[in-house]
Amino acid sequence: MASAGDLAAQEAKTILFKDANAALQAAKQVQADVLAPDNFADAMKRYQKAEADLKEGKNLDDIRKSLRESNAYFQKAINATSLPR
């Protein structure tokens, strides 16, 4: 059974990662991981850093910065999938 602290941490993650999760899903929908792998990988690296930092209780401003960067790279990846070939 999850403790109140675990539930609060999960809720905080849900709120903090809301935009990044939406960007990740949008990128996956257009197959950005296949069509724009470099930008997608950069986005995932920052996303995973934010996850690790949150788990370790690191500075929220740094976590938010990683998430903003992740969103930007997801958007670049999404945009790259719609460029004319």
pLDDT at residue 5, rounded to an integer? 65
Domain ranges in the chain? 18-81
Q: Which of 21, 16, 12 is CA-nearest to residue 71?
A: 21
pLDDT value at 85 more than 60: no
The single residue listed with the structure tokens 């949150």 is 54
38: number of Cβ within 10 Å? 11
Those residues whose C-beta lies under 8 Å from the C-beta of residue 39, and which sit 6 or more positions away, are: 32, 73, 74, 76, 77, 80
pLDDT value at 17 more than 90: yes
d(CA 54, CA 69): 16
pLDDT 10s digits, 25-74: 999 999 999 999 999 999 999 999 999 999 999 999 999 999 999 999 99
pLDDT more than 70, % of the chain = 92
pLDDT at residue 4, rounded to an integer? 67
